[in-house]
Amino acid sequence: MLTITTTEALAEFCTAAKDAPYVTIDTEFLRERTYWAKLCLIQLALPGKNGLAALVDPIAGPDMSLEPLYDLMRHKGTVKVFHAARQDLEIFFVEGKVFPEPLFDTQVAAMVCGFGEQVGYETLVKKICKADLDKTSRFTDWSRRPLTTAQAEYALADVTHLRVIYEHLSGQLQKSGRTHWLEEELSILTDPATYTVTPEDAWTRVKTRTTSGRFLAVVRELARFREDYAQTRNIPRSRIYKDDALLELASTRPTNHEELGRARLLLREGRKGDIADGILAAVKAGMETRPEDMPKPDLSREQLQVNPALADLLRVLLKTKSEETGVASKLIASASDLDAIAAGERALPALHGWRAEVFGQDALRLCRGEIALSAMGQQVTVVRL
């Protein structure tokens, strides 16, 4: 079993990978106690049943530079294959300012190929590789050394089976002509905005039904402080205060430490020191926000005049198209998307790109009265009028 702990050994492997049509990649990391993921292990495998596979261990090799790997990421002649790549890509973007190009995500490809929504790696191993994964090392603390043989083999299995899965799904996409569908979906994963949370915009990720501008101004300032504090000290947001505590503070609006101490949902660490001072300053800033500078909630979806009968027909059409193509309906359009289409909204992903081919074009025809739906037994068909 090849374990890489030096820059020279990593460069040698990556040079070999540049001559291969693809390389499968996975990472093991910890994030429970930090804001940024702590990279613990990288697994790599080259094509072929007995193709070269390796563990890249940045903990056992603390002086190793990952630049050869980042250079491989930039090499367009080798496809970089991941499963459920989002968190892996975030690590490489944060640490190396690089995205793999070209990229192939087998989880996304499996959804496009009809394996259902967000299918797991273990499921694909069973269905495509006809094998079972050893789950005994699933909850490993990947920061501890040395790794056992069982842990190393478990980690390598995440990239060795992935070779078979990639070749199968890639072939299916080419056969069905859906390769461009995958490319559209992956463009989101390689957009820096997907992984960048600025403190000023952190409030938009806090779910609340309250539309009061003053309330939202306090929420914005509390979320801004929490995000900045978490990023600069590399600790999870939840260690500072969770969303429910943030919303409680936005409602009670404490003005001093005594009032802050009455908060029911605030953790002990939030009642003293820098966090307590930051909370009080954030509440004060929110309360002093001028009306014209208060956040404006997006009420466009709530104000839509939905035609319920048309929305129901769109649901039937979506189910029909999902069954015809083998693509999970939630990947094509959400329930709120259907309501928006029925209310006349057109700036929606479901009406563009590959989704338009599968569903969107007929959805618009249905809205215009150009097609109807006919039931014959258990089959629903589209009828042009």
| Residue 372 pLDDT level (bands cut at 50, 70, 90) | very high
Q: At what angle do helices 7-17 and 67-74 cross, to 10 degrees?
A: 20
The tokens of 72 are what?
A: 């491989």
pLDDT at 273: 95
One-character DSSP codes across 265-298: S--GGGGSHHHHHHHHHHHHHHHT--GGGS----
| Separation of alpha carbons 110 and 172, rounded Å | 9
Average pLDDT on 179-197 reads 92
Distances (CA, A) of 17 to 13, 32, 76, 93, 287: 6, 32, 12, 20, 57
CB 60 within 8 A of CB 145: yes
| Biggest distance spanned by C-alpha atoms of the chain | 70
Given CA atoms 253, 254, 259, 262 in this order, what sign does their dihedral have?
Answer: positive
Domains and CATH numbers, the chain: 2-194 (3.30.420.10), 199-293 (1.10.150.80), 308-384 (1.10.150)
Query: What is the pLDDT averaged over residues 213-237?
Result: 97
300-315 mean pLDDT:
84
What does the pLDDT read at residue 337?
94
pLDDT digits (tens, 9 = 90+) for 94-136: 999 999 999 999 999 999 998 888 789 999 999 999 999 888 8
